[in-house]
Amino acid sequence: MTAHVINGKELVSSVREQFKQEVSELAEKGIQPGLAVVLVGDDAASAVYVRNKAKACEAAGIYSVVHRLPAETSQEELLKLISELNGDAAINGILVQLPLPKHIHEETVLDAIDVAKDVDCFHPVNVGNLMIGKKGFLPCTPAGVIEILKRMDVQISGKHAVVIGRSNIVGKPMAMLLLREHATVTVCHSKTPNMEEITRQADILIAAVGRAQMIKAKHVKPGAVVVDVGINRMESGKLAGDVDFDDVVETAGMITPVPGVVGPMTITMLLKNTIEAAKRANGLV
Ligand code: GUN
């Protein structure tokens, strides 16, 4: 059996087209959603992600501004910028690209972002709202994964979903969103013994470990839907997911290649959150 390989270009462009349409409808009301992205330091991967986010905004008609700050920026300077952006009416969403330099306390910075502008859904209030199922922002990568599953007509309700990884950005909120969709959810992590016994029970397997090509065919139930959230730079310079694609493609029923599906869909969910923030700021939802 060879898996259905999801075509990210097709999938993502149809979702972005829908948001572009929403932005043009807002423009008719004199509203332009605005996103501020803050990048501190010169992490090469972060610079690429930030550039892609700004480009996607531009293509959708969303105003975007990127604040590129030097690595030695103090926490106070960063907090001052966030405070200014919190008060800027042209800005509906604020995203501070992670990781931050070591001397900056990440939690303090994320907590300083206005809850209504927290389009990453990293603020404890928004995380709490997610946990209790209250309406609000959804974190971009997990929301993107759900969007992919739904658009591919994958049934989630009643299925066993296994998430590998327990990060605050992906693993934990991913489990929560799958639960919301009525999946039975198991979370595996680095201390899980006999992990493959568990992952082999998954109808839907989400890999968010951050280790290149760690998930092999032996981890996958034949016919399972495999979503690869990982993006790792190999020594050769090539990008690879957490899933060993060539090995797993023969066993899975459906698979997302890396790069090209989860990454662009994550950015698409950022556009969605920014549009939602602008609507809320203007009393439209
Ligand atoms: N770094 C890696 N992923 C993310 C993300 O989703 N948001 C932000 N702000 N930084 C990241």
- At 34-55, the pLDDT tens digits run 999 999 999 999 999 999 999 9
- Determine whether the shortest distance from the Cβ of 98 to ligand 1 is under 6 A: yes
Q: Is residue 3 part of a domain?
A: no
Tell whether 149 and 106 lie within a shared domain. no
Q: Is residue 51 part of a domain?
A: yes
Mean pLDDT of 248-253: 98
Report the amino acid identity of residue 169: I
Residue 214 DSSP symbol: -
pLDDT confidence of residue 181: 98
CATH of residue 66: 3.40.50.10860
Pocket test for ligand 1, best of 38, 118, 120, 174 (most atoms within 8 A of CB): 120
Report the amino acid identity of residue 135: K
pLDDT confidence of residue 191: 97
Average pLDDT, the chain: 97
pLDDT band per the 50, 70, 90 thresholds, residue 3? very high
Atom of ligand 1 nearest to the CA of 266: 6
Tell whether 36 and 95 lie within a shared domain. yes
Q: Is residue 216 part of a domain?
A: yes
pLDDT confidence of residue 1: 74
Please name the helix (run of DSSP H) or strand (run of DSSP E) that holds residue 101, with its range, or none. none
Residue 210 three-state SS: coil
Q: Is residue 57 part of a domain?
A: yes
Q: What percent of the chain has pLDDT over 70?
A: 100
Task: Encode pLDDT of 111-133 as tens digits.
Answer: 999 999 999 999 999 999 999 99
pLDDT band per the 50, 70, 90 thresholds, residue 237? very high
Mean pLDDT of 62-76: 98
The Cα–Cα gap between 242 and 232 comes to 7
Q: Is residue 25 part of a domain?
A: no
Per residue, the 3-state secondary structure of 250-283, as one string, reads: CCCCEECCCCCCHHHHHHHHHHHHHHHHHHHHCC
> And the tokens for 46?
């972060």
Tell whether 62 and 148 lie within a shared domain. no
Task: Encode pLDDT of 99-114 as tens digits.
Answer: 999 999 999 999 999 9
| Residues marked as catalytic | 53, 97, 120
Q: Is residue 203 part of a domain?
A: yes
Tell whether 111 and 201 lie within a shared domain. no
The Cα–Cα gap between 146 and 143 comes to 5
Q: Is residue 251 part of a domain?
A: yes
Tell whether 193 and 247 lie within a shared domain. yes
Task: Encode pLDDT of 146-177 as tens digits.
Answer: 999 999 999 999 999 999 999 999 999 999 99
Tell whether 203 and 94 lie within a shared domain. no
pLDDT confidence of residue 173: 98
Nearest CA to ligand 1 atom 4: 98
Quick check: 190 pLDDT over 80? yes
pLDDT band per the 50, 70, 90 thresholds, residue 6? very high
- Determine whether the shortest distance from the Cβ of 164 to ligand 1 is under 6 A: no
Residue 215 three-state SS: strand
- Determine whether the shortest distance from the Cβ of 141 to ligand 1 is under 6 A: yes
Q: Is residue 236 part of a domain?
A: yes
pLDDT confidence of residue 125: 98
pLDDT confidence of residue 140: 98
- Determine whether the shortest distance from the Cβ of 96 to ligand 1 is under 6 A: yes
Tell whether 109 and 151 lie within a shared domain. no
Tell whether 48 and 162 lie within a shared domain. no
Q: Decide: 85 and 36 in contact? Cβ < 8 Å.
A: yes
Tell whether 150 and 241 lie within a shared domain. yes
- Determine whether the shortest distance from the Cβ of 152 to ligand 1 is under 6 A: no
CATH of residue 145: 3.40.50.720
Query: What is the count of structural domains for the chain?
Result: 2
Report the amino acid identity of residue 257: P
Report the amino acid identity of residue 61: G
Tell whether 166 and 242 lie within a shared domain. yes
Q: Which domain holds residue 104?
A: 30-115
Residues whose CB falls within 8 Å of the CB of residue 277, separated by 6 or more in sequence, listed in order: 33, 92, 93, 116, 117, 119, 137
